Structure 1
Amino acid sequence: MMKVLGFMTGTSLDGVDMAVLETDGAAQLTFGPWAEMPMPAQTRSLLEATIKAALNWPRGEPEPAIFDEARRAIVECHFQSASEFITRNDLTFQDFDALGVHGQTVLHERPKEGVKGRTVQLFDGQAFADLTGVPVVCDFRQADIEAGGEAAPLMPVYHQALVENAGLDLPLVVINLGGVANITAISDKGLMAMDTGPANGLMDQWMRRHGRGDFDHEGRIAASGKVHEEVVAGYMAHAYFKATAPKSLDRYNFTLQAIEGLSFEDGLATLSAFTLQSLLAGIRLAGVTPETVILAGGGRHNRHLVSQITTVLAPVKVLLAEDLNWRGGALEAEGFAYMAVRSLKGLPISFPGTTGVKMPLTGGVVSYPKSHAQSLAS
């Protein structure tokens, strides 16, 4: 068993999630404390500018200069958050065998027509290892990209561990409602996973566009609007929905252009309906008829969306992560702690059914603190 502190920063740029996990990299899981720490406004602004630079970065050109500035800011943000977290929980960095860090996604392009994809999770594992004195595992997606895979989603291997640990009946589907929605279908045939479409990403953008906050609390505004079915159908005509699985998305693959003429309320209602329809299309594509569907990610707090999913999937049992005593807010941070252990042990984190890679593949780049490297050399 290894004790790892896992970190996740999502595309919503709202903060750093941290969770302590003790695991053997298989189905043995012991859960320690967790927390969500807000991202400083200055760091968020820098990352928003970095994402814009990434979206305009031509292939084959040197990376934008802002990437290095962002890496330093992200490492500093992680270090400050982790220092506060471990102090609050009466821990020290030396209590951990490793730190598993996702880094900040600023670009994700899926492979197409024989051209490898591109994915960028900004972080500096060596700098973080030197700051903390603990081995750091990060850059979990690059090996999969190099092998021709989608590099996303990566959480399915951890979803499977949670399901095995809980002894749940198969088949089942775990839905993660983040900026992008993705599903993990677990059956006796193994794992099948894919990104299905936007979840919170477009709705949050629409809220900010109208100066109404960062998200629609419990989906109340969406519930008050009218769904424009022809706009939903237009979104669902996107080429992505004709592609076979596994497949992955960037948060910015879909835009608000199609709802620009709608009222504020109708826009949210229509985006919520689009999320629902794209989820249903993904579950159909996965080819399983689940007995249970488990909802994780920030979108599980959107009561309107949860109600829509529950109604449409009936009689399938729809549960929130918390109904199983899973920690919905900690799940991804736990997942990257888990994948850090698997990376250190050379175990696979991506599979043909989850990223389209040809064979199960490990990932994660390990950085040892300089003090550790020097002691090994002496």
Structure 2
Amino acid sequence: MSADTYDTDCLVIGAGAVGLACAAALARAGRDVLVVEATRGIGNGISSRNSEVIHAGIYYPTASLRRDVCVRGRRLLYAYLESRGVAHRKCGKLIVATSAAEEPQIEALYRRALENDVENMSLITGAQARALEPNLNAVSAAVSPETGIVDSHAYMLALQGEIEDAGGVLAFNAPVEGGYVSAAGYVIRIGGEAPLEIRCRVLVNAAGLDAIRIARAIEGIPAEHIPTLTLAKGSYFGCTGKPAFTRLIYPAPVEGGLGVHLTLDLGGRMRFGPDVEWLDHNDPARVDYSVDPKRAESFYAAIRRYWPALTDDALTPDYSGCRPKLSARGESAADFRIDGAEIHGIAGLVNLFGIESPGLTSSLAIAELVAKRV
């Protein structure tokens, strides 16, 4: 090794929940692991801009990768959080029909949940739903006791600790600028204040919003196996006053997302979102993460369908995130992609494309699959 090169067995690009889980799985297997992250710390991308919900696996097509890794990942995640003492709570959620017209959609979600092997699901009447949550307006609801919430940063810190305990290394402020497939593996160029080349035998591209850009910047990865990115922003609003619910409340889903739902943090604070704002570009560097206060108007209308008592001026702009979608507006939602050699024909390379929700929930199951592929 010289001052401007570094050799490692496994290089993981991206220190979000998925990248860290992949690195931990490889380190656990005795591999030499380096994680490079463009920002100054862990979890500063998609992983810092989600609702911190542990999803049960209800919404996704039964024969999809998304369903597989969500259900498996959720079970693994609860066990991991318990073993590591990471704060979380299995609070459950209600998916509500606020009119008779929505009931078939909720019933269909319930049936899909059963097909997806989601445990302990039930359908209840509006009266039963109000007995659980007195402030709720619903004509019926599906109950998901397996849904929960987690301190996502504490989870990622636990993964970081596991990587480092196993001898793995994390490098921050280390943006990937490009690279190429070599006879011995991969050579990846790192920019920033201390540019260098990293030579590795295994490359895991878990860069979230930047995964597609990075794949295109690595010579030797066939362009036909790199999808097109579509960006959809989602804004969240906080809510003043005491919490009105003890469970998460989800409406019937909408195109591109699960509707403006109510989530709770571990302190009980209510927040609402995300909505879906399809962006007119596909450049992650151009995403404006500020929350437009005017979007509250649509939030009030959506929330009052299931919480009519929401008062005027109760919502305050909170934060926003961005989804790395592989399907455009109006198209059927694309599945997750975990592209190994069986897709692109290059040994030792795994590209993770389109890992949006439920990526946090699925992270340990995704890591299992990545470790098997390499």
Tell me the TM-score range normalised by the shorter chain: under 0.3
Give the structure with the higher percent strand.
Answer: 2
TM-score by length of 1: 0.27
Max Rg structure = 2
Give the structure with the higher percent helix.
Answer: 1
